[in-house]
Amino acid sequence: MKSRLLIGIDIGTSATKTALYDECGTRLAVHTAEYPLYQPQNGWAEQEPEDWWQATLAGICAVLSASHCDPRDIVGIGLSGQMHGLVMLNEQGQVLRRSIIWCDGRTSEECEDITRLVGAERLMDITKSPALTGFTASKILWVRKHEPEIYNKCRHILLPKDYIRYRLTGVFATDASDASGMQLLDIAKRDWSDELLNALDIDRALLADVYESCQVTGHITSEIAKLTGLDEQTIVVGGAGDNAAAAVGCGAVRDGRGFTTIGTSGVVFSHCKQLRADPDGRIHSFCAAVPGEYHVMGVTLAAGLSLRWFRDQFSAIEQIEASERNIDVYARMDEIAADIPIGADRLLFLPYLMGERTPHLDPFARGAFIGLSASHTRAHCLRAVMEGVIYSLRDCLTLFDAAGVAAPERMMACGGGAVSPLWRQMLSDVLGCTVSTAASNDGGALGAALLAGVGAGIWPSVPEACDAVIHLRTEQSPIDQNKADYEPYYQLYHSVYHALRPVCHTLATLKTSYREDRT
């Protein structure tokens, strides 16, 4: 029987991962390409779409070369990507400005405008979320207000993964899961809301057509086929936002199944057959990658980002040690953190480096070490960072009841943080549930590939694709003594944000001594 191969491309914040799989889900080749994040002002976050594209091209060429496969055997490509990012193109399909990405917090005034124009209650009815700085709609309004010359040239608005689709196929398309995070989609109808677009004076023609995640949206163009070696018959399916794709990649595609991801952001996620929503909008209710179904999720903005920040700023010694031992620097950091007791000798860390979404909906929240003393070392700070991220994920999980969603008894763990046994045990102890990992930790890349497989006819449905491919690898259960030891620290962590909120909001109003328009 002829081989049928699939490519999954995951356009992340830190890097793009491109992976090639066979129809058993075995990864045949993988390539990861990193790129920078630009922060021209405090709380802003931008990336160059061309960086994503060059990373994608490099990835496709690398996996084809490494696998020595026949490109005609690749039957489909699936795309996963960071959500909410604003990509603006002119009439010729050229990028007009850097993408304002998901963790950018500049649009608080535009969020107020959206709430005023639409009405808070009606906005919740349609999008199942209040106006949030991370979402795309407020970014569109910000560009229109502050960069009208760019807005006036704009003819197409895309999300990050959909820009890659455009470069691969020439097609302007998105999928319902990713479109859910633009705050322009009627979540129940899985299509753009004309009511919202009219209220915000956004031309529907700027937006891409909405598909289900496993639907075929186009084929590789002849130009890209020549550039990469791919075959022109290769389909590209709708794909999914990063978390919806990760759910497919770890098998959380049936009612009541959930996962936690510790990637750049952190997510607690549960799949729902029916649409559920928190009336206060503190957790997100989005379309799932399974056609006609939904999911709820809480998002903490700086999960793995907090650990990467600590690595980059304070762990030069560990990077040298890891290089000398030929191990990953995060594995070395795990060893150091494991030697510090639970509670980091009475040190807490708030991981609000980019503001916070769940449960505070506060773009002005900021990170903090609480309880720092002269007896604390870098190792204590590292342990506190890891614990603070897990506490933030528990904050997310506590809100599921409000949406009428039972917390899953078992959580799949995925993302880069899931590689860490220490972080997984923390997660199990603090959430109080069994934490499992899949045999593959590719998450979004594997999920995107499985969606392509459904589109190509390898499997009849997304759940059946997961049944065929997803298998458990590890399982960790809560340790009773650890649960008890973490509890008072979590309760204190939970209260600290409210005490510091006025300080953070005042800090946001203070002037700095340097120009804030630096790039």
How is 438-485 classified by DSSP, letter by letter? ES---THHHHHHHHHHHHTTSSSSHHHHHHHH--EEEEE---HHHHHH
Q: How far is CA 435 from the centre of its chain?
A: 20
- Report yes or no: 399 and 246 within 8 Å, Cβ to Cβ: no
Q: Which of left, alpha, beta for 436 (phi over 0: left; psi -120 to 50: alpha)? A: beta
The whole-angstrom separation of Cα 329 and Cα 519 is 29
Looking at the DSSP bridge assignments, the partners of residue 165 are: none
Picking from 302, 311, 282, 332, the residue whose alpha carbon sits closest to that of residue 130 is 282
The DSSP symbol for 208 reads P
Q: Measure the CA–CA gap between 251 and 245, rounded to whole angstroms.
A: 10
- Let me know if 242 is a catalytic residue: yes
Q: Which residues contact 324 (CB under 8 A, 6 or more apart)?
A: none
- Joined tokens for residue 70: 């026949």
Based on DSSP, count helices (H) and strands (E) in the chain, helices before strands.
18, 24
Catalytic residue chosen out of the listed positions 10, 104, 242, 278: 242
Residue 130, classified by CB atoms within 10 Å of its CB into exposed (0-12), middle (13-18) or buried (19+), is: middle
Contact 223, 171 (CB under 8 A): no
Distance CA 388, CA 351 (A): 6
Residues acting as catalytic residues: 242
